[in-house]
């Protein structure tokens, strides 16, 4: 949208001005978006395990983990926050809890036609105590609250999904989460949840990349993105490089080696990775990146220091598309 492009361009100008004054790279925090009243979410979030401390050192403040990822990853993320010497309020911490029962998970049963393509959640073949799961996350991370608490995926029936959502609403109302949202919800899921929610979802985190196969079942399509925008829900995209080795890739192409992406990267004197990331944020989404190398994480923050042209965006939008229809 024009207003989003204006804010990103203004940020770019500010970075360059500060860099010129200081003679060094500007250490300006990434721009943010208000996902709920008074809750600002950085436009770039990072899965930085096992180097979350490095992410903090280069200026990153948004972090992401989940109960399904295991205690070691959540604890490492929390330690980066609590040992930083910075106020807790400077960070944006996201965690996720599973919606159970669901499954089977593809890792456990790869030949099942309807397997769930995420890391297996423990004991998710029956209902879990989501209140206990949330408290476990807080205890392992080592914080009193998270900034964003997500339902990692829908349960295998709608009644259980709503029941579990009520527990997230209670966490929001009790101050254990500043905002709550969902992950891997499609357009229909989002619409149905908004219709019954007492606390509306602030975010839908789902896989999306250049060359997206438009997987509407998992909310990885322009229709879901458009509907989220209409409902005031921020769409957060992961899998920007295509996740070609995943059970369900986020792109039809190998994004980093796609000839169109590489051509646009050369034209802008940027890496293919930065172009893939910039394309995401320039479409108005929050970016969920993944890196454990400080040099890459520092480069990733540079996505707000340049802008792709309309021609660049059109070329990238058309990657992997036979017939292109983009409504956002």
Are the C-beta atoms of 210 and 217 separated by less than 8 Å? no
Query: Nearest-5° angle of CA 279, CA 283, CA 287?
Result: 65
Give which of 162, 184, 69, 65 is closest to 117, Cα–Cα: 184
| Rounded distance between C-alpha atoms, residue 191 and residue 127, angstroms | 24
- What is the distance between the alpha carbons of residues 248 and 117, in angstroms, rounded to a whole number? 7
Backbone angles phi, psi at 170, to 5 degrees: -65, -35
Supply angle C-alpha 51, 145, 159, rounded to 5. Answer: 105
pTM of the predicted model as reported, rounded to 2 decimal places: 0.91
pLDDT tens, position by position, for the chain (328 residues)? 544 544 555 555 555 444 444 333 345 789 999 999 999 999 999 999 999 999 999 999 999 999 999 999 999 999 999 999 999 999 999 999 999 999 899 999 988 888 889 989 989 999 999 999 999 999 999 999 999 999 999 999 999 999 999 999 999 999 999 999 999 999 999 999 999 999 999 999 999 999 999 999 999 999 999 999 999 999 999 999 999 989 899 999 999 999 999 999 999 999 999 999 999 999 999 999 999 999 999 999 999 999 999 999 999 999 998 755 555 5
Task: Give the residue among 116, 126, 125 at the shortest CA–CA distance from 152.
Answer: 116
pLDDT tens, 136-182? 999 999 999 999 999 999 999 999 999 999 999 999 999 999 999 99
Q: Within the chain, where are the H helices?
A: 2-22, 52-57, 71-82, 130-141, 158-173, 187-196, 222-230, 259-268, 272-282, 294-300, 310-317
Chain Cα centroid distance, residue 66? 12
Query: CA dihedral defined by 68, 276, 188, 3, rounded to 10 degrees?
Result: 120
């Amino acid at each position: 949208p024009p207003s989003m492009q204006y804010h990103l361009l203004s940020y770019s100008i500010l970075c360059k001005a500060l860099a010129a004054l200081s003679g060094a790279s500007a250490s300006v925090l990434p721009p943010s978006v208000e996902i709920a009243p008074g809750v600002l979410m950085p436009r770039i979030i990072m899965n930085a395990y096992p180097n979350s401390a490095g992410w903090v050192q280069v200026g990153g403040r948004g972090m992401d983990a989940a109960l399904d990822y295991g205690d070691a990853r959540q604890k490492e993320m929390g330690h980066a926050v609590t040992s930083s010497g910075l106020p807790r309020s400077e960070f944006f911490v996201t965690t996720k809890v599973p919606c159970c029962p669901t499954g089977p998970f593809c890792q456990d049963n790869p030949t099942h036609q309807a397997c769930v393509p995420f890391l297996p959640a423990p004991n998710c073949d029956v209902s879990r105590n989501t209140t206990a799961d949330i408290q476990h996350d807080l205890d392992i991370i080592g914080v009193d609250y998270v900034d964003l608490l997500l339902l990692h995926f829908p349960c295998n029936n709608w009644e259980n999904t709503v029941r579990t959502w009520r527990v997230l609403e209670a966490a929001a109302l009790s101050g254990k989460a500043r905002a709550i949202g969902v992950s891997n919800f499609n357009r229909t899921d989002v619409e149905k949840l908004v219709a019954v929610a007492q606390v509306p979802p602030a975010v839908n985190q789902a896989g999306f990349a250049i060359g997206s196969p438009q997987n509407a079942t998992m909310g990885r399509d322009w229709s879901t993105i458009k509907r989220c925008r209409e409902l005031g829900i921020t769409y957060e995209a992961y899998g920007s490089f295509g996740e070609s080795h995943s059970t369900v890739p986020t792109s039809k192409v190998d994004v980093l080696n796609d000839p169109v992406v590489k051509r646009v990267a050369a034209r802008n004197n940027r890496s293919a990775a930065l172009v893939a990331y910039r394309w995401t944020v320039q479409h108005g989404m929050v970016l969920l990146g993944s890196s454990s190398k400080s040099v890459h994480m520092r480069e990733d923050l540079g996505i707000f220091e340049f802008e792709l042209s309309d021609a660049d965006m059109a070329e990238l939008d058309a990657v992997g598309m036979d017939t292109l229809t983009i409504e956002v």
